[in-house]
Amino acid sequence: MTQIKQRYIYFQNGNKYHQQSCQGVDAYKKTRVQRNVQRKVTSTNLYLKLLIKLYKFLARRTDSNFNATVLRRLQQTRTARYPISVSRLVKQINTAKDKTRTLVVVGTVTDDVRLLTVPKINVCALRFTETARKRILAAGGKVLTFDQLAQQNPTGTGTILLRGPRVREELKHFGRASGLPGSHAKPYVSHTARRGKGAR
């Protein structure tokens, strides 16, 4: 009686699949091995890279889901970090308890000229437009950075995490330039100007 040689197949993730016969190889998990690899940040912004390093440490050493969510949003592309206006931030403050909390935005906070008066709010964001920063500070509010937030609230207590709307007019203009073959991007000029009637 001849003995069948035992073969072992080692996969990329380190698992070992035992094959008793040499006739065929069964596909391990249907040849698909899921790899949980985080996105490599290609930004040259050193401040952003330091924030990712900071919140990676906080997400690992604390049990707070807030730090893990902030870390995930910091590693997103700039397009996915949706901007939010001051008027949307004001809508989130409904009770007296909410007025004492810090509004956290992993993105840009922009101004809204339709909002006549800005109440006193505390906002932490990656970036502020100049008019939005001036209006918040003029109302007696606070403008924080994420390293200041990590010192005050390392677990995210007393904060409200927000982000802007995903569907917006700006996304219609993204992509291949309008007019080129295969392009579906919306042009920045009006339809009448494209036909040559805008200059008459």
Q: Is this prediction's pTM over 0.85?
A: no
The HSE-up count of residue 200 (CA atoms within 13 Å, CB side) is 6
Residue-level pLDDT at 71: 95
- Beta-carbon neighbour count of residue 27 at 10 Å? 9
Tokens of 143: 């403008």
| CA atoms of 37 and 34, how far apart (whole Å) | 9
In terms of average pLDDT, the best of 2-11, 25-34, 75-84, 191-200 is 75-84
pLDDT, tens only, 141-192: 999 999 999 999 999 999 999 999 988 888 899 899 988 999 999 888 876 7
For residues 21 and 86, give the distance between their C-alpha atoms in angstroms, rounded to a whole number: 67
- Asked if residue 75 lies in contact with residue 39, where contact means CB atoms within 8 angstroms, the answer is yes
Tokens of 111: 């101004």
CA 26 vs. chain centroid, Å, equals: 40
| 8 Å CB contact between 18 and 8 | yes
Which H or E run contains 116?
Answer: none
Q: Can you give the residue ranges of every domain in the chain?
A: 46-165
What does the pLDDT average to over 189-199? 65
| Structural class in CATH, domain 46-165 | alpha beta
pLDDT band at 21 (very low <50, low <70, confident <90, very high): very low
